[in-house]
Amino acid sequence: MALLEVRDLTVSFDTPDGVVHAVNGISFDLDPGETLGLVGESGSGKTQTALALIGLLAENGKVSGSVRFRGQELLGMSTSELSRVRGSKISMIFQDPISSLNPYMTIGDQLVEVLTHHRNLRRREARARAEEMLHQVHLNDPGQRMRQYPHELSGGMCQRVMIAMGLLCQPDLLIADEPTTALDVTVQSQINTLMGELSEQSSTAILLITHDLGVVAGLCHRVLVMYAGQEMEMAGVDDLFADPRHPYTEGLLNSVPRLDRARSGILNAIPGNPPNLLDVPAGCPFSSRCRYAFDRCRERPGFEALGEGRFKRCHLDALPAAREEVG
Ligand SMILES: Nc1ncnc2c1ncn2[C@@H]1O[C@H](COP(=O)(O)OP(=O)(O)OP(=O)(O)O)[C@@H](O)[C@H]1O
Ligand code: SF4
Ligand SMILES: [Mg+2]
């Protein structure tokens, strides 16, 4: 049994303008110790997928489908049951550290509370463990940081505190939403290494949401590419980079700046914009931007298994052949 089994997850929001279809039937599994990257342009539904998994959607959000964690259904669980699972077995690191930390408690007290509450550690042990964790996320002078309040720290430091908090309990599942975006490149790579080590040492599964395909290449075992709230492609990381099977994945990979392209000055961004989620087109959601679109793309393609753990949602028989034809 997989650690996490997500089936047909759907998230919509009631708004004055109509219903926003943010996530439209996503399914995936996550095994212990595995890191799955969730990628896609802004607005593709990555964050709402993550929030739906752990019952933290905004009030106007509705969720359906199934989310099983160690076989236990999370959707529809009571708030108190969910918060117990969330704190000890599932951690989430959000993009915005400032609003996720309690402004009225010192960093130390917040970290210690997590450990005394969820791990039954005594305060002294918890303080030592918390300080050690701050050291591991490369926060200088951890003893001093423990005594400070969030507003006394920079945004980057708060982000590292959030990461330390997420890793403290050695959760079974860590959901990290752009965890290092606010940090400078050197610290980003240190934190990514730390997450990789954690996942190896304690079999923590990681759902990593990121725009950075370099981080995906370095950290993830598998990748799920999302567009307009739907899965476009899922594959092992090496397969996806070497041989993308979906035109949207190809577009994302081509839009990554590379040294050989930088010289020519060409930035290969995917032309056009994602569809309006108030009115998602009936056929392939990518068709208005796809250079390979043909008649059949007016019908919605299924998420087809290609063997060897690969899936794609596209009517093309083979992308390389289509590429040659289009030129
Ligand atoms: N409370 C809400 N009410 C209405 N629409 C919402 C709400 N929360 C999110 N959305 C919409 O859901 C869609 C998916 O948002 P989501 O935050 O999951 O995108 P994302 O892939 O995480 O993007 P980014 O990379 O910019 O973080 C967006 O169109 C967003 O505007
Ligand atoms: S289904 Fe058609 S429009 Fe959609 S990605 Fe494939 S070729 Fe392009
Ligand atoms: Mg997001």
Q: What percent of the chain has pLDDT over 70?
A: 96
Under 8 Å between Cβ of 179 and 158: no
AA letter at 89: K
Give the pLDDT band of residue 159 (cuts 50, 70, 90): confident
> Comparing 170 with 15, which gets the higher pLDDT?
15
pLDDT in tens, 35-55: 999 999 999 999 999 999 999
pLDDT tens for each residue of 170-196: 899 999 999 887 778 887 888 888 888
Strands (E), 52-144: 61-69, 72-73, 90-93
The bound ligand whose nearest atom lies closest to the alpha carbon of 59 is 1
Give residues with Cβ within 8 angstroms of 9, minimum separation 6. Answer: 23, 25, 26, 27, 49, 52, 53, 63, 64, 65, 66, 67
Out of 316, 319, 323, 326, give the residue to mutate to test ligand 2, the one with the largest number of ligand atoms within 8 Å of its CB.
316
* Average pLDDT along the chain: 91
Lowest mean pLDDT among 12-26, 95-109, 129-143: 95-109
What is the average pLDDT across 6-29? 97
Q: With a 6 A CB cut-off, is 164 part of the ligand 2 pocket?
A: no
Does residue 36 lie within any of the structural domains? yes
Query: Is residue 153 assigned to a domain?
Result: no
* Ligand with smallest separation from the Cα of 299: 2
pLDDT tens-digit profile of 237-282? 999 999 999 999 999 999 887 655 555 555 578 999 999 999 988 9
- CATH code: domain of residue 54: 3.40.50.300
In a domain, 276, yes or no: yes
Torsion sign (Cα): 35, 41, 44, 47: positive
Alpha-carbon distances of 60 from 18, 19, 25, 63, 240, rounded to whole Å: 11, 10, 18, 10, 35
Please check whether residue 117 lies inside any domain of the structure: no
pLDDT at 264: 53
Residue 220, domain member (yes or no) = yes
- Has residue 149 been placed in a domain? no
- Of 140, 142, 119, 118, nearest to 130 by C-alpha is 142
**Cα 321 to middle of ligand 3, angstroms:** 34
Q: Which ligand sits nearest to residue 52's alpha carbon?
A: 1
115 part of a folded domain:
no
Determine whether the shortest distance from the Cβ of 251 to ligand 2 is under 6 A. no
Residue 133 lies in a domain: no
Q: Which domain holds residue 15?
A: 4-89+171-326
What pLDDT shows up at residue 326?
A: 86
Atom of ligand 1 nearest to the CA of 59: 1
276 vs 274: CA distance, rounded Å: 7
CA–centroid distance, residue 108 to ligand 1 (Å): 33
Residue of the CA atom closest to atom 2 of ligand 1 = 13
For residue 6, which phi and psi values (nearest 5 degrees)? -105, 125
User: Taking residues 64-79, what's their average pLDDT?
Assistant: 94
Return the pLDDT at 83: 83
Ligand 2 pocket test target in 226, 286, 288 with most atoms within 8 Å of CB: 286
- Number of domains making up the chain: 1
